[in-house]
Amino acid sequence: MPDPIRLTLQRDPAQPPQPQRGTHRIFIGMAAGVGKTYRALNELRERLQSGEDALIGVLETHGRKETIGAAEGLPVFPRREIVRGSTTVTELDLDGLIQRRPDIVLIDELAHTNAPGSVNEKRWQDVEALRDAGIHVLSTMNVQHLESLNDTVARLTGVRVRERVPDHVLHDADELVLIDLPPEDLRARLRAGKIYDPEKVEQSLSNFFTLPNLTALREIALRHVAQAVEMDVPDGQPAAHEVVVVAIAAEDTAARLIRRGGQLAERLHGELHVVTVRSDRLTQEQSRLLDVCREITAALGGHFEVLEPGEGVGAALVGYSRRVHATQMVMGETSRSRWAELLRGDIIKYVLRETRGVDVHVISRD
């Protein structure tokens, strides 16, 4: 297996580190089976042998022999049992681990959703709590679980990832360890039964683990991790400050627009603003959609705002872009009928006509 690529995120000297907070090292890869957990376990063992108080907090072996072997002999902190009716599940014992206070702990599968009754909804939130308590963390995740990449991965692979990690978790980490593996090598590991049970192998090879899918995911992983490192290099900041404004309506395409704007803001090292114009005729489902959009914006580190319609939707968008000195605007292809456009005007054409020095990106509804 190739050596991992270690990328240390450089912090701005003007912002002194806070040594009392635990560090976070994320082992990240393109897909299951590349060896993230195996590498993290080996590092935990090295830390233990060097005299540190190192523990396994959560480990998901999925029955993989290599992973089980790598964990053999390492101290494991007992999980907390949660009873749901006739079913008992186990999750990380966050309170117990904080009370135990080891030097460093392994938390596997960062994107995991905790069972109801847990302290936090998501495992990445548990990691933040451990770091706040001064505990260093090793964690693992696949790149397709990043919030901003959700639509890109779905488009490339045909698989919509449900469990997601906000991008700020990646950017707040102290070090990223990219576990890279050629797609054909990963498929060979799959055929050898090192990732899934034999009955799942053929289905996996022809669905998610196809060569085009893995090639695309590998490229995404390499590019995204490189971008994350570039963002944290002070000398790499561009002279011009970029501000990306994403205009959405309460429609199913809104989340995709926000993620596209988030990717643009990240590449440009700029701010992300997501806006919608207030409507008094929202259905309950549309209100729910906007709540989801607000959550996605927060996960991407952006600012969400509801604008008053005033003289119209177009005027509200142009006015906001001027107030925040927008340099980029992301809009979706209109869902209005031609008749509605004739009566009320074309919003995109209005924005293009009334803005200066703003690059307007119109995203297809397809």
The distance of Cα 182 from the centroid of its chain, to the nearest Å, equals 23
Lookup: tokens for 88: 């008992």
Predicted local distance difference test score (pLDDT) of residue 16 = 52
Return the number of other C-beta atoms located less than 10 Å from residue 324's C-beta. Answer: 15
Q: Check whether 72 has a pLDDT greater than 90.
A: yes
List of residues 6+ apart from 315 with CB closer than 8 A? 350, 354
Predicted local distance difference test score (pLDDT) of residue 4 = 60
Domain regions of the chain by residue span: 5-231, 238-363
Among the residue ranges 186-190, 199-203, 231-235, 277-281, the one predicted with the least confidence is 231-235
Predicted local distance difference test score (pLDDT) of residue 14 = 52
- Rounded Cα gap, residues 235 and 332, in angstroms: 34
- Rounded Cα gap, residues 34 and 195, in angstroms: 9
List of residues 6+ apart from 286 with CB closer than 8 A? 250
Predicted local distance difference test score (pLDDT) of residue 342 = 42
Answer with the residue of higher pLDDT: 162 or 239: 162
- Percent pLDDT > 70 in the chain is 87
Closest CA to 292 of 337, 328, 248: 248
Helix (H) or strand (E) holding 87: strand 87-91
Helix (H) or strand (E) holding 105: strand 104-107
Helix (H) or strand (E) holding 275: strand 271-277
Q: What is the pLDDT of residues 210-254, one digit of tens each?
A: 888 888 888 888 777 766 655 554 544 443 578 999 999 998 889
Predicted local distance difference test score (pLDDT) of residue 362 = 84
Q: Check whether 144 has a pLDDT greater than 80.
A: yes
Predicted local distance difference test score (pLDDT) of residue 49 = 93
Predicted local distance difference test score (pLDDT) of residue 337 = 47
- Percent pLDDT > 90 in the chain is 44
Q: Check whether 348 has a pLDDT greater than 80.
A: yes
Closest CA to 256 of 298, 293, 222, 212: 293
pLDDT band for position 15 (50/70/90)? low
Q: Check whether 318 has a pLDDT greater than 80.
A: yes
Q: What is the pLDDT of residues 110-124, one digit of tens each?
A: 999 999 989 999 999
Predicted local distance difference test score (pLDDT) of residue 275 = 96
Please say whether the dihedral angle defined by the alpha carbons of residues 276, 282, 286 and 288, taken in this order, is positive or negative.
Answer: positive
Q: Check whether 182 has a pLDDT greater than 70.
A: yes
Q: Check whether 202 has a pLDDT greater than 60.
A: yes
Lookup: tokens for 93: 């014992």
Helix (H) or strand (E) holding 203: helix 198-206
Predicted local distance difference test score (pLDDT) of residue 366 = 60
What is the pTM assigned to this prediction?
A: 0.67
Burial (0-12, 13-18, 19+ Cβ within 10 Å), 20:
exposed
- Most confident range (mean pLDDT) of 125-134, 179-188, 324-333 is 125-134
The topology (CATH level 3) of 5-231 is: Rossmann fold (3.40.50)
pLDDT, mean of residues 186-197 = 89
Phi, then psi, of 180 in degrees rounded to 5: -105, 140
Beta strand ranges found along 290-357 (DSSP E)? 303-307, 328-332
Q: Check whether 339 has a pLDDT greater than 80.
A: no
Q: Which CATH number fits domain 238-363: 3.40.50.970, 3.40.50.720, 3.40.50.620, 3.50.50.60?
A: 3.40.50.620
Predicted local distance difference test score (pLDDT) of residue 9 = 55
Residue 230 gets which letter from DSSP? H
Lookup: tokens for 186: 């990963």
Q: What is the pLDDT of residues 46-65, one digit of tens each?
A: 999 999 999 999 999 998 89
* Same fold across 5-231 and 238-363: yes
Predicted local distance difference test score (pLDDT) of residue 84 = 81
Q: Check whether 340 has a pLDDT greater than 80.
A: no
Return the number of other C-beta atoms located less than 10 Å from residue 219's C-beta. Answer: 12
Q: Are 133 and 22 in contact (CB under 8 A)?
A: yes
Q: Check whether 198 has a pLDDT greater than 90.
A: no
- Rounded Cα gap, residues 92 and 90, in angstroms: 7
List of residues 6+ apart from 229 with CB closer than 8 A? 7, 9, 10, 176
Q: Check whether 68 has a pLDDT greater than 50.
A: yes
